[in-house]
Chain A
Amino acid sequence: MKILFPFFAVIALILLAFAGIKTANMQFLFGVVIPYAALGIFTLGVIYRVVKWGTSPVPFRIPTTCGQQKSLPWIKQNKIENPSGSLGVIIRMALEVLVFRSLFRNLKTELKEGKVVYGWEKWLWMAGLAFHWSFLIILVRHFRFFMQDVPSVIKIIESLDSFLQVGVPLLYLTDIILLLAVTYLFIRRVYLPQIKYISLAADYFPLFLILGIAVTGVLMRYFFKVHIVGVKVLAMGLVSFTPSIPEGIGALFYVHLFLICVLFAYFPFSKLMHLAGVFMSPTRNLANNSREVRHINPWNYPVHVHTYEEYENDFRDKMKAAGLPVEKE
Chain B
Amino acid sequence: MYDSGKIIVGLLIFIALVTFPFYNNIGKVNAKPELKLDTPEIQKLPEQERKCVESKEFMRGGHMQLLDDWRDSVVRDGSRIYTSSAHKTFNMSLQNECMRCHSNKKDFCDKCHNYMAVKPYCWDCHIAPKENKS
Contact = CB atoms under 8 A, between A and B. Distances in A.
Interface of A: 39, 42-43, 46-47, 50-51, 54-58, 143-144, 146-150, 154-155, 158-159, 165, 167-169, 225-229, 232-233, 236-237, 239-242, 248, 250, 276, 279-280, 298
10 contacts: A47-B14, A54-B3, A54-B7, A148-B29, A149-B28, A225-B65, A226-B61, A227-B57, A232-B32, A248-B57
A144 B1 contact: no
Interface string B53-65: 0000100111011
B123 interface: no
Given A146-B21, A168-B68, A228 B116 contact: yes
Interface residues of B, number: 38
A46 B21 contact: no
Interface in B4-41: 4, 7, 10-11, 14-15, 18-19, 21-22, 24-26, 28-33
Contacts of A298: 2
Interface string B103-134: 00000000010011111110000000000000
A169 B115 contact: no
A244 B112 CA distance: 19
B67 A168 contact: yes
B120 to A, nearest CB: 8
B60 A227 contact: yes
B1 A168 contact: no
A39 B18 contact: yes
Interface in B74-124: 112, 115-121
Interface of B: 1-4, 7, 10-11, 14-15, 18-19, 21-22, 24-26, 28-33, 57, 60-62, 64-65, 67-68, 112, 115-121
B24 A232 contact: no
Nearest to B113: A229
B55 to A, nearest CB: 11
A42 B18 contact: yes
B25 A57 contact: no
B7 A239 contact: no
- Nearest first, the 10 closest Cβ-Cβ pairs linking A and B are A225-B61, A150-B117, A168-B64, A146-B21, A54-B1, A239-B21, A144-B117, A54-B7, A168-B68, A240-B25
A51 B30 contact: no
A93 to B, nearest CB: 11
Nearest to A227: B60
Contacts of A150: 117
Nearest to A222: B65
A147 B121 CA distance: 22
A280 B2 CA distance: 11
Nearest to A223: B65
A150 B62 CA distance: 23
Contact of B118 (A148, A169, A237): A169
B21 to A, nearest CB: 4
B124 to A, nearest CB: 10
A170 to B, nearest CB: 8
A147 B115 CA distance: 9
Given A248-B57, A250-B61, 6 more contacts: A47-B15, A144-B117, A148-B29, A168-B68, A228-B60, A279-B10
A146 B24 CA distance: 9
Contacts of B68: 167-168
A150 B116 CA distance: 8
A236 B30 contact: yes
Nearest to A145: B116
Contacts of B115: 229, 232
A298 B4 CA distance: 14
Contacts of B14: 46-47, 50, 276
A233 B33 CA distance: 9
Residue of A56, A236, A279 ringed by the most chain B CB atoms within 10 A: A236
Contact of A58 (B1, B2, B32): B2
A228 B126 CA distance: 25
Contact of A148 (B2, B19, B25): B25
A240 B2 contact: no
Nearest to A152: B117
Contact of A232 (B7, B18, B29, B116): B116
Contact of B121 (A50, A165, A276): A165
